[in-house]
Amino acid sequence: MSDYPHLLAPLQLGDMALANRVLMAPMTRSRIEHDDLPGPLQVEYYSQRAGAGAIISEGVHPSRNGQGYCRTPGIYSQQQVAAWSEVTDAVHAKGGKIICQIMHCGRVGHADNKFADAEFVAPSAVKCNAEIYTEQGMLPMPTPRALRSDELPGIIAEHATAASNAIAAGFDGVELHCTSGYLMAQFLSTGSNQRDDHYGGSAENRCRMVVETLSAMVAAVGAGRVGLRICPGNPFNDLHDDNPQETFAVLLGQVDKLALAYLHVIRMDSVGFDNIALARAHFSGPIIANDSFKAAEAEQRIAAGELAAVSFGRSFVANPDLVERLDSGAALSRVDFKTLYTPGPAGYTDYPAAG
């Protein structure tokens, strides 16, 4: 008998029927070779990990302006839809499920990582005081252009189209990235949102962009295929909010009405409060938790009814057959941190399965 009967049990997540509750977390891997297109390397990488209850893809940008990092994929063109179809077909052929994480980086990025005609746009013209990796090394980020009020419906529409494109490409669902200092988190946070229209100021106004974007994605593909990823209090990429507990209580109170498939919460003890408990207090649907979980803790939290599932990152990098190893009790391989973001198959598709 398995040591993890609850972790390995099936789960209905919105419209998605999952074989187990071991999810693969979204992880930037910087392996895209040209034109924001996934290729054979991504087909192999994701299909190797199809034993997950669901794979959540690396962040995929909904437009050229949405790209921030080098060698990352998009979902805004029909060529990209066709390329992603090769990935989703390979995952489905092995019985897996895969969700597309939609990630607009906003002010986070560098011109060296983007097409020449792409802009840096954000809620306000507030620079991200941090450096980002480029092919020339770590470089400071530029000051973005503040989005005009009349441009915001277009940003919302980009996300709805990206969601539709993802489903057309064969993804089983979509996840809106709303943390780590990217565009949606920039709207939420007092430090990066200094607008004086009805998308800035009060917590209700700062939450408006996220709620309207999710609503458009729900209208495009159905609530049962849409999830949201958050990490209240996360300071990554120079993000600051004066009162994240208030902001996310307001946000989740609105989001809960949408009946999303799930809420994906990164726990972070360093923020000074329990952000999973905050999520549970304001969101009534299934909650997936992430960050540094061991299988035993995931089993306990799921068995107690606190979580619906847990997503694993580094464990899935080094163990493409992670679910099979948990089921059999096989030892886990260790990740090589030096090859997390390097081009090519090394540290990407060359981790062997057990036995």
Could you count the other beta carbons within 10 Å of the beta carbon of residue 34? 7
In this structure, are residues 60 and 100 in contact, taking their beta carbons and an 8 Å threshold? yes
Cα separation, 268 vs 108, in Å, equals 21
The pair of structure tokens assigned to 256 is 């809960």
Closest CA to 170 of 61, 97, 234, 243: 97
Instruction: Please measure the distance between the N-terminal and C-terminal CA atoms of the chain and give it in whole angstroms.
Output: 20
In this structure, are residues 60 and 74 in contact, taking their beta carbons and an 8 Å threshold? yes
Q: What DSSP letter does each residue of 312-334 carry, written as one string?
A: ESHHHHH-TTHHHHHHHTPPPPP
In this structure, are residues 100 and 174 in contact, taking their beta carbons and an 8 Å threshold? yes
Cα separation, 80 vs 37, in Å, equals 6
Give CA angle at 95 (91, 101), nearest 5°: 45
Strands 55-60 and 98-102: parallel
Catalytic residue numbers? 182
247: left (phi over 0), alpha (psi -120 to 50) or beta: alpha
Using the CB atoms, write b or e for 258-295: b if 16+ within 10 Å. bebbbbbbbbbeebeeebbebbbebbebbbbbbbebeb
